[in-house]
A and B are shown apart, each in its own frame.
Chain A
Amino acid sequence: MTGKAKQVRVMLVEDSPTVRTLLCHIVDQDPRLALAAVCASAEEALQSIETVAPDVISMDIRLPGMDGIEATRRIMTDHPTPIVVVADSVHDVALSIAMNALKAGALSVVEKPTGLGAASYGAIADTIATQLFIMSQVPVIRQRMNLTAKAPTRPRGNDDRADAALRIIGIAASTGGPPALASVLGALPKTFPIPLLVVQHMGASFMEGFAHWLDGQTELKVEIAKQGDTPQPGYAYVAPGDRHLTLDAQGRMRVGAEAPIASQRPAATLLFQSLAKNVGPKAAGVVLTGMGEDGARGLLEMKTAGGYTIAEDASTAVVFGMPAVAAKLGAARAILPLDQIGARLLHLVEEAHA
């Protein structure tokens, strides 16, 4: 086959021999991927990562000896490589570990594969292979989360005042979203008076667990958004898996199954558009790290409608995709490094209520 793109080299880290066999099969069957190494433990992976230098790592979360989180942290520090976490999607102890691995720098999480005979096999296998392929393209940088004081970069866009008292904030993220959201929401006290609506691109089966995990990362209460509810202060609402989240003219949340926008459902652009239309200048929108361009158009509409808009700066974004497009469209009134976004939101609220 001529003109074949170079295959993406995958390192599998999985302690169950059975699941290993299946994952190897899934990688083998996908022409985009090639098996570079198979490790039964985190220790093995760390030992061989220098020599193998894979393009992407599939990491089981429960490993003998060192667990997946510590392994992720070490890899992101010593030999940063895109990591895709393989986890059970059932809401349980294992899942918060998966989310914590995302916080430690893993890029995305996929469901453990079912057997060949299961109806869902094809879909799940495809998701795994595709995630591995996509994430392998993400240029990862050395983990900065653990570093302490670093010089704050000058925020571009000096605009630090909202036009009106804020009523609602919309936040969108994709690849690298979970730790970023944890960082932003984590900066907000439980007395924060403005409810937040969150769109995080992630496998539908993980959303409940994700919301539960995020709840543990912030003083705010985090829930899955429910159709018809009115957002309350002190809360953040996460769009449920595979559903669009919008705010209607009555200020109530709407959860819908309309067609995906640019293959995304939930789509951040749809959320932002509804905020622009129904709330106008009393809304703020934030686009964090993520691949693709979801949210950029919607953010622009929000800005045009008088709302306050923020995009994450390239210096902190794991993937400077969505925020980059937003910036290019001129949709953001402020482009800020991650650690300043929460502070900016607080500032806006204080200013407005002063």
Chain B
Amino acid sequence: MADIRDQLLAAFSLEHREHQTAIREAFARARGGEAIDVREVFRRAHSLKGAARAVDLPAVEAIAHSLETLFAPALEAGVQFSGAEIGQALTKLDEIERAVNPPKPETQAPGQDAKPAADATAFLRVDAERVAQLSATVHELSAEIDANAHMAETSAALARESQALSRAIEQALQNPQRAAQALTGLAAQARTLARSAALAARGQAERSWSAERLSAQLREDLARIAMVSADTVFSGMGPMLRDMAQEQGLTAELNVSGLTTEADRALLQSLRDPVIQLLRNALAHGAEAAGERKRHGKPEALQVSLALSARAGRLELRVADDGRGPDWRKIESTARARGLIGRNEAEETSSDDALASLVFEPGFSTAEHVESIAGRGMGLSVVAEAVRRAGGAVHMRQGRPHGTEFVISTPLTAARQSIVLLQDAGARFGLPAYAVERVLDIKPAALGLVGGRQTLSVSQDGNQIIIPVIPLSRVTGTKSAVRADASGEEKVAVAVLRQGETRLGLMADAAEDVREATLVNFEAGHVAPINLAATQLEDGESAPVLDPEIVFQRFLRHDLDLSTDRAQIPVAARARKHVILVVDDSVTTRTLEKSILEAQGYRVILAVDGLDALEALKRDGAEIDLIVADVEMPRLDGFGLLESLKRDASLARLPVIMMTSRAEQADIERGLGLGADAYLVKQSFDQRELLTTIRQLL
């Protein structure tokens, strides 16, 4: 019985959310002058009533019933709702909202991770179409795998042909008199073999490319399934803001847009608290005296807006207010007071942009006194940390025409994204794989010329289509070694970007395999819009990932003149390598692990046993990102080290991988029980396992 109750509550939670959003959006459109489907709104109120009844919420059932009564006249008369009816309905919807989600008392200290509402995690509504898409991709991938199996046969055939040729040559050698005659036949055989081999090689390459692409597509489809619309996480912000304002004796109104934006559910959940913190911040720092507001012609209540949007694989949240805006002088003086700006910069005043990033430092606060909601100085740094963990960045800037604006930008899905890497003029550039239809290796001579533009003819679904091609260097502003009109035999790579039915080829020196990579934001500073993000490569280098939408925009608008914004190549030095502390009493093991890790681009610090490790942590603890520790060591063994780490608050969160030659269950349990993040057995030591584990933990 308890199980069915949970199911009902979970179903109700989702349904309630859906009806609230749909009705509110309809009203928003109605207020904007659009004609809406009155019958549908009525039906939703009716459904909500039935649903509330089914979960024993008589209060909600009653309000929903009054909504029905309110809607009935318009429905029966076949007309639109009046403004008064909509107003009353919204009030009732708010009442229902409060009845279903009673506001929680402010007991959480800032910085604490809020637990997601239990009902929200139980069920996930999945778009049937996405499941269909996933299914289609899986089918394609299976077909691809089947085709791959065929390759084995081809290889076997090749082997047979080679052997036949080999035998034929042997025979010919044995009969030198007949050699000359045999030679012609042998040459023919060799040619056939060469042809078969070439065919096989090409086929294999194609298969390989297809399989990669499909498995990337599969990952994407899967990620999309976990995508929900923002309103499931960001509903109820309006009443929350109003309540928070009321507590302060202020009035504020929230305008929300983009609630239908879809993103990974866990990501949205992780951004909910930061957004709430930003709302608090807007109240604390943006609120002004009524007279002040009147003078500037602003409405009485503080106008706060929350806008969500998604573009090119990024999720963007903007929280803005129309209050007094950032007090740059105050920020600067506070920063100086806290030593965030060096004394020797006393002469120059820092730019607003630079100051804007300082407000996210822990402990920074310009509030005169610690207020109940903001001002402890923890708020914005917690926001920055949460956003960073989601792989994104947050910026503050002056709102226009007044007020303050915060922009959070993160990748849409927490999953790693597939990137196509292009090499050009010694540098590497990435393109998000979802935008790349295919990558071709061609000879420059294959390019055609149409209307003065370079083009390439490709076959697509049985048809020949012409695609315009531009050198990647035009986009990135780098000097390309490949001249567009080279007639040499050197092959070039053309990545075909696709947006809807529009295609564009980017020509570069060479293309590398598609790979999975995490996209990170550039460090602070002016970033050209064409740079979507940066991605960390294995050798520690960073490559800029270009925004296909911007490329298309520029291409379509300026028609080839892309020199206005150069792609920025991040300075290699800024790419921070991760530091791993390797603890093992065996010099052989230490050396082995060190070389493996350094080959992957990590920096390695060594320690010979537990005590040595603790010393190293005292010295360089701030730098160390992860520990790989042996269990059996003298003086302080792996378990002892673990215990010491967990006791120290500053080190407790450091990820620890235990390596042991003893694979006994009891040991493993002990290690994991003490808080080890992973347990690897040396005997079956597979460096891939270690590297994968490290990547997961970092």
Listed in ascending order, the chain A residues whose CB lies under 8 Å from chain B are: 15-22, 25, 60, 62-64, 88, 90, 92-94, 112-118
The answer, among B11, B49, B51, for a CB contact under 8 Å with A88, is: B49
- Which residues of the other chain, A, contact B56 by a CB distance below 8 angstroms? 114-118
**In the complex the two chains form, is A16's CB within 8 Å of B15's CB?**
yes
Q: How far is the CA of A92 from the CA of B67 in the complex (A)?
A: 12
A-B contact count (CB 8 A): 77
- Which residues of the other chain, A, contact B42 by a CB distance below 8 angstroms? 62
Residues in B316-332 with C-beta less than 8 Å from chain A: none
Query: Nearest 9 CB-CB pairs, A to B?
Result: A115-B56, A18-B51, A16-B47, A117-B56, A18-B12, A22-B54, A18-B11, A16-B51, A17-B11
Q: How far is the CA of A143 from the CA of B444 in the complex (A)?
A: 74
Answer yes or no: B231 CB below 8 A from chain A CBs. Answer: no
- Which residues of the other chain, A, contact B57 by a CB distance below 8 angstroms? 115
How many Å from the CB of A319 to the closest CB on chain B?
29
**In the complex the two chains form, is A16's CB within 8 Å of B55's CB?**
no
**In the complex the two chains form, is B75's CB within 8 Å of A62's CB?**
no
Answer yes or no: B564 CB below 8 A from chain A CBs. Answer: no
The answer, among B5, B7, B12, B53, for a CB contact under 8 Å with A114, is: B53
**In the complex the two chains form, is A17's CB within 8 Å of B72's CB?**
no
**Contacts beyond the supplied A16-B48, A115-B8, A116-B56: 10 A-B pairs with Cβ under 8 Å:** A17-B15, A21-B4, A21-B11, A22-B8, A62-B43, A63-B43, A92-B68, A112-B50, A115-B56, A116-B1
- Which residues of the other chain, A, contact B43 by a CB distance below 8 angstroms? 15, 62-64
How many Å from the CB of B381 to the closest CB on chain A?
41
Q: How far is the CA of A18 from the CA of B68 in the complex (A)?
A: 18
Residues in B154-185 with C-beta less than 8 Å from chain A: none
**In the complex the two chains form, is A112's CB within 8 Å of B53's CB?**
yes
**In the complex the two chains form, is B69's CB within 8 Å of A18's CB?**
no
Some 26 contacts from A to B, beta carbons below 8 A apart, are A15-B47, A16-B47, A16-B48, A17-B11, A17-B14, A17-B15, A18-B51, A18-B55, A19-B54, A21-B4, A21-B7, A25-B4, A63-B43, A64-B40, A64-B43, A88-B49, A90-B65, A92-B72, A93-B68, A93-B76, A94-B46, A113-B53, A114-B56, A115-B56, A116-B5, A116-B8
Q: How far is the CA of A116 from the CA of B54 in the complex (A)?
A: 7
- Which residues of the other chain, A, contact B4 by a CB distance below 8 angstroms? 21, 25, 116
Listed in ascending order, the chain B residues whose CB lies under 8 Å from chain A are: 1, 4-5, 7-8, 11-12, 14-15, 40, 42-43, 46-51, 53-57, 65, 68-69, 72, 75-76
Q: How far is the CA of A207 from the CA of B5 in the complex (A)?
A: 31
Q: How far is the CA of A48 from the CA of B57 in the complex (A)?
A: 33
- Which residues of the other chain, B, contact A17 by a CB distance below 8 angstroms? 11, 14-15, 51
Q: Which of B51, B69, B75 has the most CB of A within 10 A?
A: B51
Q: How far is the CA of A113 from the CA of B4 in the complex (A)?
A: 14
Q: How far is the CA of A64 from the CA of B42 in the complex (A)?
A: 10
| Complex: chain A residue closest to B76, CB-CB | A93
**In the complex the two chains form, is A93's CB within 8 Å of B75's CB?**
yes
The answer, among A18, A62, A63, A114, for a CB contact under 8 Å with B15, is: A18
Q: Which of B4, B12, B42, B47 has the most CB of A within 10 A?
A: B47
**In the complex the two chains form, is A18's CB within 8 Å of B49's CB?**
no
Q: How far is the CA of A120 from the CA of B12 in the complex (A)?
A: 20
Q: How far is the CA of A94 from the CA of B46 in the complex (A)?
A: 9
How many Å from the CB of A37 to the closest CB on chain B?
16
The answer, among A18, A63, A88, A90, for a CB contact under 8 Å with B8, is: A18
**In the complex the two chains form, is B51's CB within 8 Å of A19's CB?**
yes
| Complex: chain A residue closest to B16, CB-CB | A18
**In the complex the two chains form, is B47's CB within 8 Å of A62's CB?**
yes
How many Å from the CB of B12 to the closest CB on chain A?
4
- Which residues of the other chain, B, contact A21 by a CB distance below 8 angstroms? 4, 7-8, 11, 54
- Which residues of the other chain, A, contact B7 by a CB distance below 8 angstroms? 21
A15-B47, A88-B50 known; A93+B55 contact, CB < 8 A: no
Q: How far is the CA of A335 from the CA of B49 in the complex (A)?
A: 45
- Which residues of the other chain, B, contact A88 by a CB distance below 8 angstroms? 46, 49-50
- Which residues of the other chain, A, contact B68 by a CB distance below 8 angstroms? 92-94
- Which residues of the other chain, A, contact B75 by a CB distance below 8 angstroms? 93
- Which residues of the other chain, B, contact A25 by a CB distance below 8 angstroms? 4, 8
**In the complex the two chains form, is A114's CB within 8 Å of B65's CB?**
no
- Which residues of the other chain, B, contact A18 by a CB distance below 8 angstroms? 8, 11-12, 15, 50-51, 54-55
Q: How far is the CA of A19 from the CA of B61 in the complex (A)?
A: 13
- Which residues of the other chain, A, contact B11 by a CB distance below 8 angstroms? 17-18, 20-21
- Which residues of the other chain, B, contact A114 by a CB distance below 8 angstroms? 53-54, 56
- Which residues of the other chain, B, contact A118 by a CB distance below 8 angstroms? 56
- Which residues of the other chain, A, contact B69 by a CB distance below 8 angstroms? 92
How many Å from the CB of B523 to the closest CB on chain A?
46
**In the complex the two chains form, is A62's CB within 8 Å of B46's CB?**
yes
- Which residues of the other chain, A, contact B12 by a CB distance below 8 angstroms? 18
Q: How far is the CA of A114 from the CA of B57 in the complex (A)?
A: 9
**In the complex the two chains form, is B72's CB within 8 Å of A93's CB?**
yes
| Complex: chain B residue closest to A64, CB-CB | B43
The answer, among B47, B49, B55, B72, for a CB contact under 8 Å with A115, is: B55
Q: How far is the CA of A62 from the CA of B50 in the complex (A)?
A: 11
How many Å from the CB of A111 to the closest CB on chain B?
10
How many Å from the CB of A28 to the closest CB on chain B?
9
Q: How far is the CA of A50 from the CA of B56 in the complex (A)?
A: 36
How many Å from the CB of B18 to the closest CB on chain A?
9
Q: Which of B46, B56, B65 has the most CB of A within 10 A?
A: B46
- Which residues of the other chain, A, contact B54 by a CB distance below 8 angstroms? 16, 18-19, 21-22, 112-115
- Which residues of the other chain, A, contact B51 by a CB distance below 8 angstroms? 16-19
- Which residues of the other chain, B, contact A22 by a CB distance below 8 angstroms? 8, 54
- Which residues of the other chain, A, contact B55 by a CB distance below 8 angstroms? 18, 115
Q: How far is the CA of A228 from the CA of B298 in the complex (A)?
A: 69
- Which residues of the other chain, A, contact B15 by a CB distance below 8 angstroms? 16-18
Q: How far is the CA of A154 from the CA of B1 in the complex (A)?
A: 57
Q: How far is the CA of A168 from the CA of B487 in the complex (A)?
A: 108
